[in-house]
Chains A and B, each alone.
Chain A
């Protein structure tokens, strides 16, 4: 179930929130778990086995967590089993076919593909479960004795499918005891509406441009259209993902949870290093905590740091998708960050305007590598951006795109900056504070209208 759909907004949410509000505090986790299970089941209804998979995974990790506490000298074994299961599932469902395809290609074999559909949210909940297990192993958290509480943490519907990736330590206290004030509810609703607006009014509208270019064929579009394309894609990706994260955070707040921020205006960054501290913050934090630091971080010499960063960025790229372009993208990020570490970063720091120009070019270009899986098509698009790449069939096509998407592009650029938020906060403190609620209600209404009219696109990150 997509958050930006009528069945979620008009059916699921009212029932869920009403039941949740009415049930006494003791049983709130059970109710939340019930609705989260229903939410997940609805999403995997075509492949009901995946519902069993996630339930079994939660139970296995719950048992292993408690086993680690009960038999602490065998902790390592239990951790190994747990991680093997968790990442094993992720590997089989997400990466097996990639490896099979490449083995077949390079070794000439004919290993059959699994053709398995990706279980909903597996990339996200695998990381969450693994973080729990590792934290229990390290002793930073006490294992959860109540399976319902652990299940609520992992399956909690706001962040189950598309993040933010919440570490158990972040919400452990709130799982057991949380209160929701009316201020939290209002605040949560506001954040949710902002997220919804970003997704429906900005991301979905901009998404058409990239789709159109794909339908026409990259070799046939004009250079100007190609640049508009990656600009639109960059904005769409940001509003889609950050909108979804905000909806998750807003919902969490209404339920009494305080999920960590996942995006902090990444497009105003002045370097790639800074960008990845503002984009998908929880993923970066996960990799830092569970891969970079265990490998030694930057405390084992330059060469080792180099290697550690290489591993982290390759895995980050690979997490996003099981294909060569994602590995290439991860490697590209690694190279850019290394260059910045080697001194370019200091230069960017000192030259404000240059750094913004640099990032304005680099962000869409790096997203291009992320967006196109076929390496040949990627090459064509790159050539197209710089004047080559095949015969342009319609030289004025960019005018048509500006006509259809110009307004959305301008709005997108505006909302990628902190200016609207700054203005909203000022409004809040002024005498016309009521206006902000009217504004948000307008956003909600407009979004619902767009959803009703079917101007709706699936979330780009749902392939994860």
Chain B
């Protein structure tokens, strides 16, 4: 009978649907809270989740970061006076230590080693002194490359004389292929921006938009960008800015944009710094709460700081100038 056939068909469809549903639910991440704040950037590349050992890394990495935190707090406090060589050496040593540690961590994947090495190498490393208060006009030959945070800086608290090559959604996957309006030079791409003017310093802040993608590929492309900067601006100092933490409200529920992943990526980026011509800057300490997340009072969307805090960010940059 026709109705029996169609009933059977209908029921089979329901069964298949149930199976599909069960499969998809078991693979589904924890469903996003429906009041989730959208990241302002559009995701260009699609994700492969980072492997599970990130959390282990994060635990030890947190230790490293907190060491760096203390370091930078000290640095900020002492910048009013001329760089005290003793403090500077201690500071530098610890910073260098964490960088060295980072590299070894990527190779050996050990987590306990992190804590130990930190203490041991303090006294033996060669320490160049750097980071001082920016003199007047320091930022006149600065270029800032970055995503929506840099857009925020450009629009809401621009440093006098600096150029900005920034767009919402910029990532290492599209930085070299997009064009943006650069002060007085029209809408040009990164290569043209770098070729058109002599820059003394180039600040780069990218990462949040490619957090979900393959880490090695991310780093490879980041390196490409650094090499392009080097090619056209061989004498410029490069500052790699750490990616900003997200607030706890986001970090706790987001499988991708959480501070464990951000810290992991930042750690990899810190390894690019040689502290001679390339430095690593981490602004997170000035906005973090006790748990290492972006403080809730600094943000309205758990991802970006309120515009009025870019002034503090600029003060931080001014306090971490490098004059050669």
Contact = CB atoms under 8 A, between A and B. Distances in A.
Contacts of B109: none
Contact of A22 (B6, B21, B32, B33): B6
Contacts of B3: 24
A22 B10 contact: yes
Interface string B260-291: 00000000000000000000000000000000
B301 A215 contact: yes
Interface stretch (B48-56, B67-75, B151-159, B190-198): B151-159
A393 B14 contact: no
B306 A15 contact: no
Nearest to B151: A400
B7 interface: yes
B7 A38 contact: no
B271 to A, nearest CB: 31
Interface string B96-116: 000000000000000000000
A86 B157 CA distance: 52
Contacts of A420: none
Contact of A208 (B10, B33, B40): B40
A453 B46 CA distance: 10
A411 to B, nearest CB: 19
B188 to A, nearest CB: 18
A15 B17 contact: yes
Nearest to B18: A38
Contacts of A43: 31
A394 interface: yes
B307 interface: yes
Contact of B35 (A221, A400, A463): A463
Interface size range on A against B? 35 or more
Contact of A220 (B18, B25, B308): B308
Looking at B13, B40, B155, which has the most chain A CB atoms within 10 Å of its CB?
Answer: B13
A394 B34 contact: no
A217 B18 contact: no
B34 A27 contact: no
A24 B9 CA distance: 11
Interface string B280-324: 000000000000000000011101101110100000000000000
A12 B17 CA distance: 8
Residue of A11, A24, A211, A215 with most partner-chain B CB within 10 A: A215
A246 to B, nearest CB: 20
B43 A463 contact: no
Given A7-B24, A42-B21, A393-B307, A216 B156 contact: yes
A38 B25 CA distance: 11
B16 interface: yes
A32 to B, nearest CB: 11
Interface in B178-200: none
A11 B20 contact: yes
A400 B36 CA distance: 25
A84 B235 CA distance: 75
A23 interface: yes
A37 to B, nearest CB: 11
A94 B216 CA distance: 45
Interface string A216-260: 110111000000000000000000000000000000000000000
Nearest to A461: B34
A214 interface: yes
B301 A42 contact: no
Contacts of A34: 14
Given A15-B14, A211-B301, 11 more contacts: A11-B20, A20-B10, A24-B7, A42-B21, A42-B25, A46-B30, A215-B306, A219-B308, A393-B155, A393-B157, A463-B35
15 contacts: A19-B11, A22-B10, A35-B17, A42-B25, A214-B301, A216-B307, A220-B308, A393-B308, A397-B155, A454-B42, A458-B32, A458-B35, A459-B34, A462-B34, A463-B34
Interface of A: 7, 11-12, 15-16, 18-20, 22-24, 27, 31, 34-35, 38, 42-43, 45-46, 117, 207-208, 211-212, 214-217, 219-221, 391, 393-394, 397, 400, 453-455, 457-459, 462-463
